[in-house]
Structure 1
Amino acid sequence: MTHPPRPPLLPPHQSAGSGRPVLLLAPAATRSAVWLLHQVPALSAAGYRALTFEHRGATAEFVPEGPVRFAELVTDAARVIQDVAGEPCHLVGSSLGALVAQRLAALRPDLVSSVTLLATRARTPLFTAALVKSVAQAARSGSVPADYAAASTMSQLFAPATLLDDRFAREWLDLMTLSPVQGEGAARQYLATLSVDEWAHELPGIDCPALVVGFPHDVLMPPELVREVADAIEGARYEEVAGCGHFGFLERPDEVNALLLDFLAKASLPH
């Protein structure tokens, strides 16, 4: 006896503010609460409805069986737009979230008003693939000492000058030691990003307004890779925020938010 396919799961989600909806998509192995620090308050204050949700694998309650396939991450985002927002959304994604946003914009233009892509890429160089696989293996094994894992992860996420700020460093060392990046869900998210090379050819099909932002000290998504995405999307606006690493939206939130709000204001105008 065959069973009908199960309907797509609705990811855990939150909403703040009112107005035109903006869906924020988090990096790999990162809870959606990361947007609550700076971006959700800024968007809400500017008159937008900020929506956040958990990628499958981000919580123990939302790790469906089998590998996390990239298409499923895109489907999850589409379901939040359809079932929660109820209308097309401006998409804001960082890292894994940016990859999901750019593919959703290519596949479902009817759901996307604009895309803002932070620290993204359209191909996977050899070293990037090796790094992704090694981080996934470490997350899966759970055997890496917590203090080493915290320091190593921070060196990949933040600019060297930022890590010289002892207060900043202490807060993040404490946070990442208490909540290490580990588990099958995190590993699957990282590995899902390796599929980007299979669908990068879709990027020229994105025809909504696009803002692409690189960070000069990003070792995971160097600006050279980020700019390639901007070059592939006709009319995309490319910006770099100085003094930032991979998580530039946390290091220089005022600068990133200013770029985002300026872009959204223009993208919301009638065309």
Structure 2
Amino acid sequence: MITAQINGIRIAYEDTGGPGHTVLLVMGTGSPARVWEVHQVPALKAAGFRVVSMNNRGIPPSDECPHGFTMDDMVNDVVGLIEHLGCDNVSLVGTSLGARIVVEAALARPDLLSRVIALAAHARLEPLQQAMTRGEIELAEQACPPPADYRAAVMALQYLSPATLRDEGLAQDWLDMFAFDDGRISAGHKAQLQISQSLGDRRPAYRNISIPLLVVGFSDDAAIPPRLSREVAEVVPGAEYVEIADAGHFGYLEKPAEVNRLIINYLRRSFAATGAIEVPEDIRVRHV
């Protein structure tokens, strides 16, 4: 990865280059930018976009900043990277914590952005998500992860759709992948978790967002239920909402073709266009 000094720390990023419109991808809690490379980077690159993906602070080789940081710090990292690249009129795509970062960036620096796509967006957390986050922070402090099989099963229930888990072969593949990691929560990952604990309800603030926003919810998302994503679209003026059926929190990995087509369709649409986003007929959408 390329590294740059942004806001006094090292931020690592990948850049496909090229003359196309720049799309910056922002990942969720505890995950590196390479997760985007499985499906989203190749699809966007093939569609003619310049694709940049970054490791948020907290995730090496970006600086971990183990003593903690704020949402404003993470938003400023995105802004700083855009400025480092010498870009404006950039589109942002984020998922989970990354969705919160890109929506906050839309509020803070609309002058740099053309549009934003937020997967599993949320303006607040409910008691269940808050309890899960507190528990993960306590696990990080104890430095004693649960047994691999148990951890993998919990992650599968938390992040995947029941439709995925009904396929026993596919479910086993996911379980094997989840169990491969040792389950330890690093200091940087813990610092990202602590951000969610400190944020309140941002719905009133989001009423002031002025750039185009597409919110994508996942019908079976147990980590960020789609009702929380729909709330964001309801308060942001002119925002659009699409909900992907049979997809969990990792919907962009479970249903990559559908998610990629939605992203590309939205990015390609003329900025002057009006009316609802066109959803390709082969995408299974839960109409709400």
Q: Which residue of 2 aligns with 1:166?
A: 168
Q: Which residue of 1 aligns with 2:89?
A: 88
Which shifted more, 220-229 or 63-72? Answer: 63-72
Letter in 2 for 1:243: D
Q: Deviations over 1:17-63 (max 9, x none)?
A: 52110011111011111110111111101110111011111226521
Runs of 4+ in 1 over 3 A off after TM superposition: 267-271
- Identify unmatched segments of 5+ residues in structure 1: 1-5
Task: Give the TM-score taking structure 2 as reference length.
Answer: 0.86
133, 151, 161: which one aligns with 1:149:
151
Letter in 2 for 1:175: M
Q: Which residue of 2 aligns with 1:76?
A: 77
Q: Which residue of 1 aligns with 2:28?
A: 27
**1:104-253 to 2 correspondences below 5 Å:** 104-143=105-144, 144-179=146-181, 180=183, 182-197=185-200, 199-253=202-256
Letter in 1 for 2:200: D
| Local SS of the residue matching 1:12 | strand
Q: Deviations over 1:114-147 (max 9, x none)?
A: 1101101111222221111112222343312222
| Local SS of the residue matching 1:114 | strand
Q: Deviations over 1:166-213 (max 9, x none)?
A: 343333323222223522211221221234425442211111111001
Which shifted more, 225-234 or 202-211? Answer: 202-211
| Local SS of the residue matching 1:43 | helix
Distance in 2 (alpha carbons) for counterparts of 1:78 and 1:51:
13
| Local SS of the residue matching 1:11 | strand
Q: Is the 8 A contact 1:140 1:183 kept in 2?
A: no
Q: Which residue of 1 aligns with 2:14?
A: 14
Alpha-carbon shift at residue 269 of structure 1 (Å): 5.3
Distance in 1 (alpha carbons) for counterparts of 2:233 and 2:57:
27
Letter in 2 for 1:43: L
Distance in 1 (alpha carbons) for counterparts of 2:26 and 2:136:
20
Corresponding position: 1:263 with 2:255: no
| Local SS of the residue matching 1:197 | coil
Distance in 1 (alpha carbons) for counterparts of 2:37 and 2:120:
19
Letter in 2 for 1:100: I
| Local SS of the residue matching 2:249 | coil
| Local SS of the residue matching 2:14 | strand
Q: Is the 8 A contact 2:124 2:202 kept in 1?
A: no
RMSD over aligned Cα, in angstroms?
A: 2.0
Task: Give the TM-score taking structure 1 as reference length.
Answer: 0.91
- Identify unmatched segments of 5+ residues in structure 2: 1-5, 275-288
Q: Is the 8 A contact 2:57 2:63 kept in 1?
A: yes
Distance in 2 (alpha carbons) for counterparts of 1:181 and 1:117:
28
> Percent identity between the aligned chains?
35
Distance in 2 (alpha carbons) for counterparts of 1:267 and 1:185:
39
Q: How many residues align?
A: 266
Call closer, same or farther: CA 1:128–1:65 in 2, change over 3 Å. Answer: closer
Q: Is the 8 A contact 1:17 1:47 kept in 2?
A: no
Q: Which residue of 1 aligns with 2:277?
A: none
Alpha-carbon shift at residue 270 of structure 1 (Å): 8.1
Distance in 1 (alpha carbons) for counterparts of 2:9 and 2:191:
17
Q: Which residue of 1 aligns with 2:60?
A: 59
| Local SS of the residue matching 2:207 | helix
Q: Deviations over 1:57-81 (max 9, x none)?
A: 1226521242131111111111111
Q: Which residue of 2 aligns with 1:3?
A: none
